[in-house]
Amino acid sequence: MRKLRTFVVIAAAAALAAGIAASAGAAPTRADSTLNGAGSTLIQPAFSVWGPAYASATGVEINYSGIGSGGGISAITNRTVDFGASDAPLSPDQASACNGCVQIPWALSATSVVYNVPGVGDTKLKLSGPVLANIFLGKVTSWNDASIKALNPGLSLPDQKITTVHRSDGSGDTYAFTDYLSKVSSTWRNQVGVNTAVNWPGGVGGNKNAGVSAVIGSTPGSIGYVSDAYALQNHLAKARLRNAFGKYTLPGITGIEAAAQTVKSVPADNKMSIVDPPATKKFAAAWPISTFTYIIVPTTSKNATDLRHFIFWALSPKQQASIKKLIFAPIPKVVLVAAEKTLTKIHS
Amino acid sequence: MSSVDAPVADASRRPFRGRRLRLGDVLLQGVAGAAALGATVLLGLIAWKVVDGARPSLSKFGLGFITRIAWNPVPGHEIYGAASFLFGTAITSLVALLIAAPLAMGIALFLTELSPRLIRGPVTALVETLAAIPSVVIGLWGIIVLGPQLRLHVEPWLHKAFGFIPLFGTPSSSGASVFTAIVVLTIMILPIVSSITRELFLGVPHDLKEGALALGATRWEMTRGVVFPYARGGIAAALILGLGRAVGEAIAVTQVIGGGLLVSWNLFSTGDTLASKIANEYQSATSRLQSASLIYLALILLVFSLVMNVAAQVIVRRVSRRMGIGVSR
């Protein structure tokens, strides 16, 4: 009797477990008319335009989750999505881990420098790269420091402590921002470096763009960085930055497009940095913290045809123009050619 | 709440002895057994997966990881350590508990012994509603309302009055600080500890309390001499439950603690706890070693919680055995 009972219990448990396993195994099957993607939060607003437009044009649904660039890279590495999206290009280690992935630049955006200084209105504050680096290194600690005053002769700056605010999560904006600071300050390059997350010399962290802007909003004397589209939507006070040519510029389509002219040729891995463009007249209008954002796809996949079609569609001048109002500048011709060439590598 | 097992007749623990085998009984035992087995297996799988995920970091840093203060995910300079986050976790949860414990005792005592019957019901309900506020909402309130208030009013005052203690150093420049996290955690664990304590106080037999009063004890003497000793084991367990909540809380803390390595004793500086570091960085981790190190932090957190749970059970058993009475009802 007891043996029988034990046997029945085990059998029932095994049946239940098998059932769960079977249903879990069946779950990932998806309709062929859906593409799943994940990653960068910077590109996410573009999907609010592209998603519905692509679905009505082709009947293929795009599901995108903005889980962060790093998350997107690990998702495509594990092949849990059809494509990943990242603002930071793949590092050599990541590229080899992803095993046959290509990255395609498909949109251009900017990171803006925002501040909350009592008595200093929107776009009134002017900064240079080295001063910005010194502020974030903790070397310039007060708003009436001589180096800031020298850049803002007409401005009355308060005797207030500077609080720097950064992203506490890993982010493409952090990558662009630290990439810029590394270009303009060798101290930054040697002490801190470039990455989606770094060991900050000081300051306060905020989670995502919203966290950074909440801290800035409640902290007089603070300065930080957010995606430009976010700064625009939330009416944050933006600083002007002096570019290498010596002009003070603001982020925006014009500034990003000018910075994108830096690209003369595209390397085989499509990895490009357009922060701190050269000191020539051609780049007079350039915003120095502009960045490409990438879609990462496996060269071989079941949905290759759909993927190739979608990316080709998104790269088209019409679709690039459709996201301009979200502060994404159209990618330049030379990059478009390289991107379309990379597309031919994708096959099922 | 764990309680001491009542003596159970042996036969009742073996439901099928001497009975006919019935399909319903077998099914019931099968389903219930599978559920219990499932939970156990799940814990084992989670533990295994956490150890497995942490392996790259475990093999690179070993146990030195636990005592090192470092966190640098920049490629080529990668180095990770848990000490700063362990310290952050310990100081936020312990100080929060230190503040919450007397407050919770006071609330429970008021609601069981001292309050007029009319307001007892509403106040009890309101205190318990506090526990129902989602942590993300408390976190938002913390960063928008509480943080700036603490920075403007509380921190400068504490610094002026107790500045000689290293804990109360220079006030923070933004509202985000370890101190704000402590206050948020205090608010979060207060309702748990107070409602369990209230139940314990209600469980103190009336004849004991009335006996004390009949002997001429004041309300305070009765509370100190009868209510507290009777509920002691349960209170200890309730506090450890609250501590567990504080240690594991991620979202609200992430929103208000400001991030970064905590290298000073100053409660007004920014920092991170084990849970907030994981919540902040896991999704956006870019290298294998960084992910593995974050999972290593999770492993430390898991061990920490496990030790705390076991400690709670040991304390409850010891106290109740010494008292020779049950601790809850």
Residues B27/A12, Cβ–Cβ less than 8 Å: yes
B132 domain-assigned: yes
Retrieve residue B231's tokens. Answer: 């509920």
Looking at CA atoms only, how far is residue B3 from chain A in angstroms? 29
List CB contacts of B131: < 8 A, sequence separation 6 or more.
Answer: B191, B192, B195
By CA distance, what is A199's nearest residue in B? B72
* A204: nearest Cα among B291, B145, B272: B272
The string over A152-167, giving b where at least 16 C-beta atoms fall within 10 Å of a residue's C-beta and e elsewhere, is: beebebeebebbbbbb
Residue B202 has pLDDT above 60, yes or no: yes
Confidence tier at A209 by pLDDT (50, 70, 90): confident
% pLDDT > 70, chain B: 91
- Is A65 within 8 Å of chain B by CB? no
Specify the amino acid at residue A22.
Answer: A
Specify the amino acid at residue A234.
Answer: N
Cβ under 8 Å to B: A residues 93-122? 93-94, 97
User: What is the average pLDDT value for chain B, to the nearest integer?
Assistant: 88
Crossing angle of the two packed helices B178-202 and B228-248, in degrees rounded to 10: 150
Looking at CA atoms only, how far is residue A300 from chain B in angstroms? 23
Mean pLDDT of B276-280: 93
Residue A24 has pLDDT above 60, yes or no: no
Q: How far apart are CA A261 and CA A273, in angstroms?
A: 11
CB contact under 8 A, B34 and A12: yes
- The residue among A6, A73, A173, A195 with the most chain B CBs within 10 A of its CB, best to mutate, is A195
Residue B103 has pLDDT above 50, yes or no: yes
φ, ψ dihedrals at B136, nearest 5°: -70, -30
Mean pLDDT of A13-25: 46
Residue A307 CB-density burial (10 A; 0-12 exposed, 13-18 middle, 19+ buried): buried
Of A16, A200, A214, the CB nearest to B260: A200
Specify the amino acid at residue A302.
Answer: K
Full 3-state SS string of A135-197: HHHCCCCECCCHHHHHHCCCCCCCCCECEEEEECCCCHHHHHHHHHHHHHCHHHHHHCCCCCC
A240-242 vs A248-249, strand pairing mode: antiparallel
Q: What are the start and end residues of each CATH 3.40.190.10 domain in chain A?
A: 32-106+293-343, 111-283
CB contact under 8 A, B72 and A215: no
B264 domain-assigned: yes
What's the ipTM?
0.79
B8 domain-assigned: no
Mean pLDDT of A79-108: 91
Q: How far apart are CA B42 and CA B48, in angstroms?
A: 10
List CB contacts of B178: < 8 A, sequence separation 6 or more.
Answer: B88, B91, B92, B257, B258, B262, B267, B268, B269, B270, B271
Q: How far apart are CA A324 and CA A312, in angstroms?
A: 18
CB contact under 8 A, A219 and B26: no
Looking at CA atoms only, how far is residue B11 from chain A in angstroms? 15
pLDDT at B174: 85
Q: Report how far apart the first and last C-alpha atoms of chain A are (Å, whole number).
A: 58
**Which chain B positions have a beta carbon within 8 Å of A221's beta carbon?**
173
Q: How far apart are CA A212 and CA A221, in angstroms?
A: 14
Of A9, A169, A195, the CB nearest to B74: A195
- The residue among A44, A169, A174, A194 with the most chain B CBs within 10 A of its CB, best to mutate, is A169
CB contact under 8 A, A199 and B286: no
Retrieve residue A238's tokens. Answer: 């933006």
Confidence tier at B175 by pLDDT (50, 70, 90): confident
Looking at CA atoms only, how far is residue A245 from chain B in angstroms? 30
SS3 A60: coil
**Which chain A positions have a beta carbon within 8 Å of B173's beta carbon?**
161, 163, 204, 219, 221-222
Residues A127/A148, Cβ–Cβ less than 8 Å: yes
Residue with tokens 């129902």: B132
Q: What is the CATH number of domain A111-283?
A: 3.40.190.10
Looking at CA atoms only, how far is residue B195 from chain A in angstroms? 32
DSSP-assigned beta bridge partners for residue A241:
A127, A249
φ, ψ dihedrals at A101, nearest 5°: -105, 150
- Is A18 within 8 Å of chain B by CB? no
By CA distance, what is A94's nearest residue in B? B287
* B305: nearest Cα among B18, B45, B47: B47
The string over B124-145, giving b where at least 16 C-beta atoms fall within 10 Å of a residue's C-beta and e elsewhere, is: beebeeeeeeebeebbbbbbee
Retrieve residue B64's tokens. Answer: 């030195």
Specify the amino acid at residue B152.
Answer: L
User: What is the average pLDDT value for chain A, to the nearest integer?
Assistant: 88
- The residue among A199, A200, A216, A223 with the most chain B CBs within 10 A of its CB, best to mutate, is A199
CB contact under 8 A, B29 and A5: yes
Within 10 angstroms of residue B61's Cβ, the number of other Cβ atoms is 21
% pLDDT > 90, chain A: 70
Of B74, B175, B285, the CB nearest to A193: B74
CB contact under 8 A, A8 and B26: yes
Helix (H) or strand (E) holding A342: helix A333-343
Q: How far apart are CA B314 and CA B322, in angstroms?
A: 12
CB contact under 8 A, B174 and A219: yes
B2 domain-assigned: no
- The residue among B284, B287, B288, B289 with the most chain A CBs within 10 A of its CB, best to mutate, is B284
Q: Which residues in B have their CB inside 8 Å of a CB on A?
A: 16, 21, 26-27, 29-31, 33-34, 37-38, 70-77, 143-144, 147-148, 173-176, 254-255, 258-261, 270, 280-281, 283-288, 290-291
Residue A27 has pLDDT above 70, yes or no: no
Of A5, A67, A222, the CB nearest to B174: A222
Residues B33/A13, Cβ–Cβ less than 8 Å: yes
φ, ψ dihedrals at A236, nearest 5°: -85, 150
Q: What's the number of CA atoms in the CB half-sphere (13 Å) around residue A253?
A: 12
- Is A198 within 8 Å of chain B by CB? yes
pLDDT at B13: 57
B79 domain-assigned: no
Residues A46/B261, Cβ–Cβ less than 8 Å: no
Helix (H) or strand (E) holding A63: strand A61-65
By CA distance, what is A116's nearest residue in B? B174
- Is A17 within 8 Å of chain B by CB? yes
Residue with tokens 């500086």: B269
* A259: nearest Cα among A109, A112, A143: A109
Residues A236/A216, Cβ–Cβ less than 8 Å: yes
Output the domain CATH number for residue B291.
1.10.3720.10
Q: What is the pTM for the complete model shown?
A: 0.83
**Which chain A positions have a beta carbon within 8 Å of B31's beta carbon?**
12, 16
Which of residues A27 and B69 earns the better pLDDT score? B69
Per the structure, the complete domain to which residue B313 belongs is given by 84-323
Number of domains in chain B: 1
Confidence tier at B329 by pLDDT (50, 70, 90): very low
Confidence tier at B12 by pLDDT (50, 70, 90): low
Q: What is the CATH number of domain A32-106+293-343?
A: 3.40.190.10
